[in-house]
Structure 1
Amino acid sequence: MASQEVEVEQRVVAVVVIAAILLAVGLALGFGINKSRPKAVPAPAAVAAAPSADASADAARVVVEGGVVKFFFATGKADLAVDLSADVQAALNDAAAAAKAGKKLVVSGFHDSTGDAAVNAELAKQRALTVQAVLVNLGADAAAIELKKPEEMLGGTDNAQARRVEVVVQ
């Protein structure tokens, strides 16, 4: 009988340990998903005068060029552009549909060379995760999205062009 009691105790301990592991993994996944979700972007305040050239160059925006969706970000931010044109929305929906159909989406982040390189690389990563979350929210399978390591843009390009994330369907 003593061996049966030990066996029961071992099973109880095993169940408790497995439950604790599952809880820890669930919490880690939940925290990771929560961190990767795009933050809500407040609506822009009405502006009486036209924005300056410097302000518009640093503004978040999304464009489609040659079938590549390019997300541009303001300096030091991972917030998405508020207003998306019909072309951009259609391109994002097409990308999500392509992922559902078995194609791969490659999300590439870039950053400029000003400031701390490690901070810039982390910000580029956060921007790419924000774009990935948008694609998943549109129905793309997360497994069909490949995140490429952020790349630093060196010389010959302006900083606004360097602060971008691109989505390419392959």
Structure 2
Amino acid sequence: MKQALVIVDMQEVFFMDRKNYLFESEQVVENINNLIQWARANDIQVIFIQHTDLGQDDEMAFGKPEWKLHNRLLKQLEDKVIQKTTWDAFYGTELAQYLQDSMIEQLIFVGAQTEFCLDTTIRSAFSHGYHNNILIAGAHSTINSEALDAEQIIKHHEYIWNNRFVNIQPNTNFQA
């Protein structure tokens, strides 16, 4: 089964201002980088999804420091980067066509934010016919909200997703 590693919105906005720091951010970046190395060692396509706000004054507008992919990620020039303007990486982007053209059958998800863009993209992938997807535990994160702390948000979403929209697997299964 041909796979792709899909890295959602791991952008500088989550590393520049304490109020936006991802829960366990250092470990999440390390885990994602390990997955990138594993993907490359196994000839698996690496796809970066990059949220792009449309307004020039918006925090994540094209070209702003907060918009850039996190500088510690092991991104290479040949990696596909798909910009999106909504929470859904499929909506109004080339993602569906790119996956079809590349004959990708299974998506491996990591990234941010758990309850927003990652959740929406995981559910959209399922609706697009990708029913055997994987989410890597410890390789996605979010920030605290007024209702729940980040750890609770992650646990809740993993409970909802597992064996429905994705199969959650530990990152130890994916070592280069």
TM-score by length of 1: 0.32
Structure of greater Rg: 1
**Going by fraction, where is helix more abundant, 1 or 2?**
1
TM-score under structure 2 length normalisation: 0.32
